[in-house]
Structure 1
Amino acid sequence: MGRNSKKRKERGDNPFDSRGSENWPEQLGKFLRFHLYKENKDTQEALGLISKMLGILPRSFGFAGTKDKRSVSTQRVTVFKQRASKLAALNKRLIGIRLGDFCYVKEGLLLGQLLGNRFTITLRGVVVDSEDVIKASANSLGRNGFINYFGLQRFGSGSVPTHLVGATLLRGEWKSAVKMILDPREGERNEISKAREYYKETDDIDGTLRKLPRHLVAERAILQCLKKCPGNYLQALKAIPRTLRMMYVHSYQSFLWNHAASARVQKHGTEHVVVGDLVFCKGDDTEKELGCVNPEFEYESSNDADDSSHLDEVPETDHPDGRHNLVKTVTAADINSGKYTIDDVVLPLPGSRVIYPMNDVAEVYHHLAEKDGINLTESLHNVKEFSITSMTGNYRRVFQKPMDFEWELLTYIDGNKPLAETDLDKIAKAKLVNIVKEEEAVCGNKEKDPSDCMKQSESLSKDIKLSTENNEAACAKEVKQPHVESVCGADSQGKQMALKLGLTLPSSCYATMAIRELLKTSTSVAFHKTLN
């Protein structure tokens, strides 16, 4: 115990786990970059398993953003001073996870270092009277886009939505917030429910920690702190990794934004800009001429590097051009000039450096916040990170059009047969770089340039389209429509119909909201549970 404490003290504030890396070759980059492929696991869960196998801390990993659990996804990840051969060897033991395309680089990935995500979505069991119905719906989605709501993932699917915890934090009710996070809740796995019930009945922290799964990071952090500092609920909340604890407050901001977006559509429709709307300033606008407001956006800059592996998804700024942080209020003169369209309209995520629409939509924010006992312009306590007035705020487009949108009608008989090629399928076809030999060459030859590995890896990565790092102008492309032979009524031999969609969305946009628009279905927790 004393030896471990000494090592921790020596490591100090180093954000990375450096165990076993003292003799790291200078010629190799300090970070190993690789592609993480996973099925039905979120990013934190997958990296938690990998870190446990490697015997390192999760904070050693870096990534640009989290990917949904209920999906097959691939993303780039970096890890501090680890051998590729060591990670590659894990593939034999990993289930539903694959690691590959290794390369040493000088810098690790940070949150937000991506422009967006590419989605391939297959909707099975499609039943329509005519293909024209599908064609009209798909073309409408590609042409008009969808309301850019924050998705269900933002608020959680449990009986205690994260935005309610966020509201409790904003009110400064620390004990209540801890109780909401720890208390039993409906719909969880049996082992988790038993652990929560056990703590509620006994207050036995050690016993609860033995029962509580390790992936419940927030709960474990709170309990470990309460063990050291009984009754100090604020300190217990601060023990949660920063990006994870801020998720609660961000969720409340998203809750207000979603309601404001609904009000904007209900009151003013989806066709035209109206007086009082907020829009991003155009490239030829100037602050003095048009009253553009700069919120001096600082939302992401304060994220702790060692907390990056625990981020849910921090709200991010849309980037229409280099002046993305300038917004203005639409005037009657702007309406007459036709300079702005409905695609330019934005709404604020509450904070101290944003402005609100100069119309009835602004009332929604203040009315909802007041119902929750929150003042958007005045803090109820002096804990800055849980104060709405200490957050700078942000702006988000009300409507979002999918980029590189394409769709295809398919027929199938076997419901278990995949209808889309995964990135693992693509990787299997590619010629992999023998990174082990690269390591040996670098370690045995001081003149070897490790950047050669990067060049090879970059070439390979082009065959594996993962994130939209070079896709900014894609939304201008025409919707790709397939030429499909008639499939309606083709079930005479047991065939069924599926709709396969391909679309690219900017960071922090939700594909589930695009599907909501396409299918005209609810996105409530109750509705989603009926689909399971």
Structure 2
Amino acid sequence: MEEDTDFRIRFSSLCFITDHVGFHGTIKSSPSDFVVIEIDERGQLVNKATDEPIYKMSKGLPEPNNFAKKTKLGLQNLVFEEGGNQKVSILVRCSDDDQNHQPGSEKEDAIHDGTSKGEEEKVYALGSLLDEKTNELLDQFACDIKEKWNSESELTGPSPEFSLGRILDKNQRAILHSAIRQKFPFLITVGKNSEIVVKPNLEYKELCQLVSEEEASDFFKYLDAKKENSKFTFKPDTNKDHRKAVHHFVNKKFGNLVETKSFPEANYNAGNPNTVITVRFREKAHKHRKRCVESQERKVIYTAFTLQKENLEMFEAIGFLAVILGVIPSDFSYAGLKDKKAITYQAMVVRKVTPESVKNQINDSANLRERILEAIENVKHKGFVNYYGPQRFGIGRKVHTDQIGLALLKSEMVKAVKLFLTPEDLDDPVNKAKKYFLQTEDAKGTLSLMPEFKVRERALLESLHRFSMTEEGCIQAWFSFPHSMRIFYIHAYSSKIWNEAVSYRLATYGSRVVEGDLVCLDEDGDDEQFPNNKVHLVTEEEESANAYAIHQVVLPVLGYNVQYPKNKVGLWYQEVLSRDGLQTCRFKVPTLKLNVPGCYRKILKQPRNLSYQLIEEHGIDVKAEGSHIDEATLSLLISFDLDASCYATVCLREIMKHDF
């Protein structure tokens, strides 16, 4: 998925205070996975009437091997929400893989390795390996699927299937798998023992809603060919949101097999900045292939292992193993299907995977539990960098709230209005209205286009229609917003600078408290409410005596009534203000009746009352050459309290070492 570049850069550059490895995972696949409860002035949860959290947590830390078993596969997309002073209960589905991917038996069947034979030979294989009647029925099945899709009628009931019958020769089956997918990329082939079953490729249909049918066909042929060091490029695209959708589709469906990147089209001009999405196979999909020393030809490697599964369909288990080993379901051989509702043991063979790679996956999975527990304990004792969370700035938007705040601080009122009304690359009524306004500055005409539910936009436009699109008219238009909304944008800019400042402070001095740092002398004071007389400038003697700890260090949030550090960090603040044209700014905007005194914010915070539990969601046991793996998707159930103005996602970022 293509991300907002500026947003991604500013948050990927933020640092960590802890030194554990971290892990990948997904947050909030359902609303009950992310529970936020405010804490009142007496320290009580505001839902005290029920006195029951969504998840019952043990007061003490449960034993690491205390796992509740469920049958569940899959990871969902990241979604975040949180409040201020809060108690947070969160369910995180954990993975040590680099991609958030949702495996499933159907989608994995769409990715088969195929042979390296040419296109003509593959098509010829259908005529040579299938009898005339079977070929005709296959063509008719393909035509029926295409006709239903072209008529936009839904395929109701179970997915239609066409069986080619049993093909006893393994090499012939491999050739047929690839030949069918090359000729009919809108179909997938599934191996059931020696039988080949053909089904509609639902991912193909989904991709056709984003790109042309020609591109979709070429993309799935590229996946099937699976040629080393090859690339596939979608057609140039100027629509950023459309590119995001294509990135998201490819990474969600095939993220463990391929990776995507966006590049400016070669020889593009500034007036037409086309961007292309390039897809390439991940290196791990080919790293197990070796060359014979004698003939320099491909050598096929086979590894035998024992599969133990519990309450799981065979095709689900194979799909899951294919993902973690970087192969495809047809690379597995086995002697038959075993019951789902049972604990079964079964001899299996996987090709193109060395025993060493299986062992590596075993070690990775075994280490995942240890990494999770180490990460939580680390943050519990050392804390996390107290960044303002990404939702403060507007995730995934062309214009972030801090950009509007900077324009207001510089009294660029017309620019601020235009930034507020900047459209996204979407073709919905709201963005059509915004596009019309930027093209015409016709507030009255834009009002007729703007949907009624966009209350703030309509209030601004009504003022502009009354006062005109002049500097004074835009000042009046901003008064259509309440004071809290106007000052919110100023605070967003200050928050952005504070995030950058703390990253610079930690990169420059680390966890040492040095001369010129600012420290808080009031341990009981509320965060961001420290008066100047409670903020102390560290002296050279105090640095030498280690008089203060890093958790006491604060940095100023921009305003007219704050002091700055007297070291390199203070100089950094001045350089940044100069960079943004605010070297003479007093953080007062009298025309909008905005006065920003500023405050201080601790650079580190610690979660309180932290408890957690690991939950094993399903089990697949693999044994190979004396090694053992219990392949399970883990869920981490974690609960903690945070002070006001802290962000739960920022705490989770430190635990997981993962930028959301």
Q: What is the TM-score normalised by the length of structure 1?
A: 0.53
Contact 2:517 2:553 in 1 (8 A): yes
Which residue does 2:613 correspond to in 1?
408
Q: Which runs of 5+ in 1 are unaligned?
A: 1-38, 42-67, 78-98, 103-113, 285-296, 298-315, 415-487, 523-527
The correspondence for 2:514, drawn from 269, 274, 280, is 274
Deviation for aligned residue 1:234: 0.8
1:71-470 to 2 correspondences below 5 Å: 73=36, 116-127=85-96, 128-129=364-365, 130=367, 131-157=369-395, 158-186=397-425, 190-213=428-451, 216-231=454-469, 232-270=473-511, 272-282=512-522, 317-318=527-528, 326-375=534-583, 377-378=585-586, 382-383=590-591, 385-386=593-594, 390-413=595-618
- Greater share of strand residues, 1 or 2? 2
Change beyond 3 A, Cα 1:210–1:508: farther
Q: Distance in 2 between matches of 1:175 and 1:206?
A: 17
Contact 2:34 2:91 in 1 (8 A): no
SS at match of 1:142: helix
Contact 2:527 2:601 in 1 (8 A): yes
Deviation for aligned residue 1:338: 3.9
Q: Distance in 1 between matches of 2:635 and 2:586?
A: 51
Deviation for aligned residue 1:214: 5.1
Change beyond 3 A, Cα 1:319–1:204: closer
Q: Distance in 1 between matches of 2:38 and 2:518?
A: 34
The correspondence for 1:490, drawn from 630, 635, 639, is 630
1:513 aligns with 2:641: no
Contact 1:151 1:512 in 2 (8 A): yes
Contact 1:163 1:249 in 2 (8 A): yes
Q: Distance in 2 between matches of 1:101 and 1:208?
A: 48
Deviation for aligned residue 1:336: 4.3
Contact 1:280 1:324 in 2 (8 A): no
Change beyond 3 A, Cα 1:518–1:199: same
Change beyond 3 A, Cα 1:196–1:249: same
Which residue does 1:499 correspond to in 2?
636
Which structure has more relative contact order (CA 8 Å, sep 6+)? It is 1
Contact 1:317 1:394 in 2 (8 A): no
Residue identity opposite 1:192 in structure 2: V
Residue identity opposite 2:481 in structure 1: I
Residue identity opposite 2:652 in structure 1: I
Query: Deviation string for 1:7-39 (max 9, x for gaps)?
Result: xxxxxxxxxxxxxxxxxxxxxxxxxxxxxxxx9
Q: Distance in 1 between matches of 2:29 and 2:480?
A: 28
Query: Deviation string for 1:79-131 (max 9, x for gaps)?
Result: xxxxxxxxxxxxxxxxxxxx9979xxxxxxxxxxx981011122114235312
Deviation for aligned residue 1:183: 2.1
Deviation for aligned residue 1:355: 0.5
Q: Distance in 2 between matches of 1:258 and 1:521?
A: 17
Q: Distance in 2 between matches of 1:115 and 1:159?
A: 26
Contact 1:169 1:249 in 2 (8 A): yes
Q: Distance in 1 between matches of 2:641 and 2:49?
A: 23
Deviation for aligned residue 1:75: 5.8
Contact 1:167 1:252 in 2 (8 A): yes
Q: Distance in 1 between matches of 2:452 and 2:537?
A: 48
Change beyond 3 A, Cα 1:116–1:489: farther
Residue identity opposite 1:119 in structure 2: V
Deviation for aligned residue 1:194: 2.0
Deviation for aligned residue 1:216: 3.9
Q: Distance in 1 between matches of 2:415 and 2:465?
A: 18
Q: Distance in 1 between matches of 2:39 and 2:611?
A: 25
Contact 1:351 1:376 in 2 (8 A): no
Which residue does 1:45 correspond to in 2?
none
SS at match of 1:124: strand
Contact 2:37 2:88 in 1 (8 A): no
Deviation for aligned residue 1:217: 4.2
Q: Distance in 2 between matches of 1:150 and 1:250?
A: 11
Change beyond 3 A, Cα 1:319–1:142: farther
SS at match of 2:86: strand
Query: Deviation string for 1:433-484 (max 9, x for gaps)?
Result: xxxxxxxxxxxxxxxxxxxxxxxxxxxxxxxxxxxxxxxxxxxxxxxxxxxx
SS at match of 1:183: coil
Q: Distance in 1 between matches of 2:458 and 2:464?
A: 10
Which residue does 2:311 correspond to in 1?
none
SS at match of 1:407: strand
Q: Distance in 2 between matches of 1:410 and 1:40?
A: 15
Deviation for aligned residue 1:332: 2.5
Contact 1:218 1:241 in 2 (8 A): no
Deviation for aligned residue 1:257: 0.7
Deviation for aligned residue 1:398: 0.3
Q: Which runs of 5+ in 2 are unaligned?
A: 1-27, 41-46, 51-82, 97-363, 620-627
Q: Which has the larger radius of gyration?
A: 2
Contact 1:318 1:324 in 2 (8 A): no
Over aligned residues, Cα RMSD in angstroms?
A: 3.6
Change beyond 3 A, Cα 1:273–1:216: farther
Q: Distance in 2 between matches of 1:409 and 1:76?
A: 26
